[in-house]
Amino acid sequence: MSNVYDFSAKDRMGNEVSLKDYEGKVLLIVNTATGCGFTPHYDPLEAMYKEFRDQGFEILDFPCNQFADQAPGSDDEIHQFCTVKFGTEFPQFSKIDVNGETAHPLFAWLASEKPFNGFGKGLKNAALNKYAAANNKKYGDKTYIGWNFTKFLIDREGNVVARFEPTENMDNVKAAVAAAL
């Protein structure tokens, strides 16, 4: 695969969507969960989406339940939670796996383009690293994503230009998106 447009995924209604539909846009692809300590990231994500969508920006939301069962609901339940609690309007896809033998090929590719480099420094990050390592041990060499709310920034040509772990300050994510636009 040469860029993100070579992939497709099912939307929350089960329809296959080619990521080529987003060609020419700046994308932020995120694996999410409704019961995670990082779930409040939906607020700055939605604010970013509202601010930048008219400039060719899209957020693609991929719920995932592989991290401590923090997204246990159906696609409809997850969508309802996100729209009611956070007012999300950006595209939400069907729940997927991002690690292991059943990982969606998109996330395996994203992680091969920008591999995991740790959660950063500090006590909170060290604690997450320990918990994530225990959780992800079962995926071995097919551990592509460290935790929920990992974000990949894609440029208008479909190339991965940045990876942001969930511990990254959302102001830094916003600045990178603005620069890509």
The C-alpha atoms of residue 82 and residue 30 are separated, in whole angstroms, by 14
User: What's the token pair of residue 49?
Assistant: 């989406």
Helix H, strand E, coil C: the string for the chain is CCCHHHCEEEECCCCEEEHHHHCCCEEEEEEECCCCCCHHHHHHHHHHHHHHHHHCEEEEEEEECCCCCCCCCCHHHHHHHHHHHHCCCCCEECCECCCCCCCCHHHHHHHHHCCCCCCCCCHHHHHHHHHHHHHHHHHHHHCCCCCCCCEEEECCCCCEEEEECCCCCHHHHHHHHHHHC
64 an active-site residue? no
User: What's the token pair of residue 67?
Assistant: 């991290």
Q: Considering 27, 36, 59, 177, which one is annotated as catalytic?
A: 36
Which residues are marked as active site? 36
